[in-house]
Amino acid sequence: MVNDENTPRTRPERRDAARNRQRILDTAHKLFEQYGVEQVSMNQIATEAQIGPGTLYRRYRNKGELCLDLIKDSIDLFFDDIEAYLQESETVPAEQKLKEVISSFICFREKKAQLLTGVEETKSIKSRAQSPLYIELHQILVQLFDEMRGREQKPYLHSAFKADMMLMALSSDSYFFQKNVRGYSPEEILNLLCSTFISD
């Protein structure tokens, strides 16, 4: 096969690097399941995986990046499901679609609570806003808020701001504070968010 000289070549991952990556992910998954993400250190993962700390830190700068790699396939499936739902629901009112998207994300957060918290705990708000999960979810929310604005002709509805505030409310710290400290169920959180962000 002849390579087109305009096509950039991607170097395949070296076999030993791929083995190390899988060993790290398997070890981290096992330790996180056993002790919880917060209780496990990067050095503990390196020791248990029988690799040097330098090897670990060359691939993952922090535990958040490692958690993100562990959850990446689940995030991809989550967005595939959201995209399929939105394509099938073009005639559904934007308010209903927004509620369904938020409900799906709350379910996803509940199922992947430890890893999502791990992804978020090492990031500032600015860094979180640059993560692939935040960016893609933010775009979906902005589109739905824009859809509502278009129908209602509300020129001062700032969709990006509302999407940011919605995602702040759905961050690990805020969500689990409302659930564990305030005592709201996931269904109540969903309904309260919708009544706050979706105008009647």
User: pLDDT tens digits for 71-90?
Assistant: 999 999 999 999 999 999 99
Q: What count of other Cβ atoms lies within 10 Å of the Cβ of residue 104?
A: 15
| Residue 2, pLDDT score | 43
- Parse the chain into domains and list their residue ranges: 11-60, 62-197
| Residue 11, pLDDT score | 53
CATH number attached to the domain at 62-197: 1.10.357
User: pLDDT tens digits for 120-168?
Assistant: 876 677 777 778 889 999 999 999 999 988 755 555 568 999 999 999 9
Classified as helix, coil or strand, 109 is helix
Same fold, 11-60 and 62-197: no
Residue 49 has pLDDT above 70, yes or no: yes
Q: Which CATH number fits domain 11-60: 1.10.10.60, 1.20.1740.10, 1.10.3210.10, 3.30.70.520?
A: 1.10.10.60
* Cα–Cα dist 35/45, whole Å: 12
Q: Which residues contact 134 (CB under 8 A, 6 or more apart)?
A: 128, 167
| Residue 1, pLDDT score | 46
Task: Give percent above pLDDT 70 in the chain.
Answer: 88
Q: What count of other Cβ atoms lies within 10 Å of the Cβ of residue 115?
A: 23
User: pLDDT tens digits for 98-116?
Assistant: 999 999 999 999 999 999 9
- What number of CA atoms fall less than 13 Å from residue 60's CA on the CB side? 25
